[in-house]
Amino acid sequence: MEKKKNSKTKLHIRKGDTVMVIAGDDKGKSGKVLEVLIEKNRAVVEGINIVTKHTKPSAGKPEGGLKKTEAALHVSNLKLVDPASGKPTRVGRKLNDKNKLQRYSKKTGEFIK
């Protein structure tokens, strides 16, 4: 029997979160999450992992040239920055007052938006 994959994987980060890079060339830098690619377990972070793309001259852009853009990072290399303390923290999930599962900071114990 084949195992069914959960179609909606839960990640510890979401679009709009502030995260810090904990591994790689941009280690120690932080930025805002612009996009989360759930199926690839990756996220695009503002100002992090900048890559240069070469563009050919075309009718729309006759000069061509180099275009700098953000590339996706694996979510295991990102750590959520706690909104209350401003320090990187691990993320857990627990029920809030309204019996709804919500993310919380393991460092401070407070719920994250």
What are the per-10-residue average pLDDT scores of the chain (113 residues)?
A: 67 95 96 96 96 94 92 97 93 93 94 89
Q: Is residue 50 part of a domain?
A: yes
Q: Is residue 30 part of a domain?
A: yes
pLDDT of residue 77: 96
pLDDT of residue 4: 63
Are residues 20 and 46 located together in one domain of the fold? yes
- Note down the domain range covering 90: 82-113
Predicted TM-score (pTM) of this structure? 0.81
Q: Is residue 5 part of a domain?
A: no
User: 30, 28, 29, 33: which is closest to 13 by C-alpha?
Assistant: 33
CATH of the domain at 54: 2.30.30.30
Are residues 42 and 32 located together in one domain of the fold? yes
pLDDT of residue 113: 83
